[in-house]
Amino acid sequence: MNKIIILNGPNLNLLGEREKNQYGSFTLKDVEKSCKDYANQNNIKLSLFQSNVEGELVTQIQNARNSQDGLIINAGGYTHTSVAIHDALKILKIPIIELHISNIYNREEFRHKSLISSVARGIVCGFGAEGYVMSLNAMSKYLTK
Ligand code: CA2
């Protein structure tokens, strides 16, 4: 059974509350439910974590070192700013998928730079909420190949 963790960064706890045109009308609970359903059907041991605090995300990434087979991260705004998250991810030997609900490359220029892409195995970006299950599918296929 593959162990996969999905980390969500700042403000993603507010999904479905505003900016629905950008991020859709689904809530984080909805997203987590579809991920749990997918995990149950596909023999995946899934962990989910969301925080608005950079250091808490760093700690989860460090803990994944010895406890997870794969890590999926939507670092929210920290994607574009956090050297600490980049450094923590770089230490990991397990595969990392960078995930975004929106296509960060057709938005404001400050979103075009990601500090995560260079340490990620792959990127899922621009497919809305569906991107979460797409990432789980990609990770689980990658781990079992
Ligand atoms: O598209 C993504 O998934 C992002 O990682 C979302 C981040 C943004 O800073 C990245 O550039 C792209 C922001 C998440 C904000 O979430 C909200 C949720 C509800 C209402 C407003 C914002």
Rounded Cα gap, residues 26 and 113, in angstroms: 26
Q: Which residues contact 133 (CB under 8 A, 6 or more apart)?
A: 34, 35, 38
* Ligand 1 centre distance from Cα of residue 99 (Å): 11
Name the 3-class secondary structure at 99: strand
- What pLDDT, on a 0 to 100 scale, did the predictor assign at position 136? 98
Residue 62 above 90 pLDDT?
yes
Which stretch of 19-33, 44-58, 107-121 has the lowest confidence by average pLDDT?
A: 19-33
Q: Are 47 and 70 in contact (CB under 8 A)?
A: no
Residue nearest to atom 7 of ligand 1 (CA): 76
Geometric angle at alpha carbon 49, from 43 and 55, rounded to 5°:
140
The phi-psi region of residue 24 (left if phi > 0; otherwise alpha if psi is between -120 and 50; otherwise beta) is left
Query: How long a stretch of residues is the chain?
Result: 145
Provide the mean pLDDT of the chain. Answer: 96
The reported pLDDT for the residue numbered 119 is 98
What pLDDT, on a 0 to 100 scale, did the predictor assign at position 61?
Answer: 98
* Superfamily designation of domain 2-143: Dehydroquinase, class II (3.40.50.9100)
Distance, in Å, from the CA atom of 130 to the CA atom of 84, rounded to the nearest integer, reads: 28
Q: What is the pLDDT of residues 63-120, one digit of tens each?
A: 999 999 999 999 999 999 999 999 999 999 999 999 999 999 999 999 999 999 999 9
CA 69 centroid distance within chain: 14
Q: How far is the CA of 14 from the centre of ligand 1 (A)?
A: 9
Return the pLDDT at 112.
Answer: 98
Look at residue 18 and tell me whether its pLDDT is greater than 90: no
* pTM for this predicted structure: 0.97
CA-nearest residue for atom 18, ligand 1, is: 15
What is the DSSP annotation of 43-67? TEEEEEEE-S-HHHHHHHHHHHHHH
115 CA → ligand 1 middle, Å? 16
